[in-house]
């Protein structure tokens, strides 16, 4: 239950801090967009813990590279669905469905 609450709060905080622009516009290599507050490394760490690095991203590095390049709307969507995935039972169809969305599949494409 603690994991669900922590995951949900993390996803909500990421989703709520993302305004209408995105990408890594501040020139750092950490994957954080200074304008949006989206932190790709934090998202990807949670993604790896919740979904695993297999089908959608094969590593922390590929995840950060992918999500850093996406716009704010897509980042908000994947963050929201990662929170949904964290709230589902491990191995469940619902978790895998939301992991796919957090991986950038529809509706987060």
Residue boundaries of the structural domains of the chain: 2-18+39-102
Condensed to tens digits (0 to 9), the pLDDT of residues 52-105 reads 998 789 999 999 999 999 999 999 999 999 999 999 999 999 999 999 999 999
Q: How many Cβ atoms sit within 10 Å of the Cβ of residue 23?
A: 16
Portion of the chain with pLDDT greater than 90, in percent: 61
Condensed to tens digits (0 to 9), the pLDDT of residues 7-60 reads 544 555 544 443 332 333 444 444 444 445 689 999 999 999 999 998 789 999
The pTM is what? 0.68
Of the candidates 43, 33, 34, the residue with the CA atom closest to the CA atom of residue 102: 43
Q: What is the 3-state secondary structure (H, E, C) of the chain?
A: CHHHHHHHHHHHHHHHCCCCCCCCCCCCCCCECCCCCCEHHHHHHHHHHHCCCCCCCCCHHHHHHHHHHCCHHHHHHHHHHHHHHHCCCCCCHHHHHHHHHHCCCCCCC
């Amino acid at each position: 239950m603690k994991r669900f609450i922590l995951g949900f709060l993390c996803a909500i905080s990421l989703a709520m801090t993302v305004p209408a622009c995105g990408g890594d516009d501040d020139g750092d290599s950490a994957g954080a967009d200074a304008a949006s507050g989206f932190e790709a490394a934090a998202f990807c760490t949670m993604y790896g813990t919740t979904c695993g690095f297999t089908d959608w991203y094969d590593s922390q590095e590929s995840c950060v590279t992918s999500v850093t390049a996406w716009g704010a709307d897509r980042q908000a969507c994947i963050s929201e669905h990662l929170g949904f995935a964290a709230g589902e039972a491990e191995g469940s169809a619902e978790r895998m469905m939301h992991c796919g969305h957090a991986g950038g599949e529809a509706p987060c494409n």
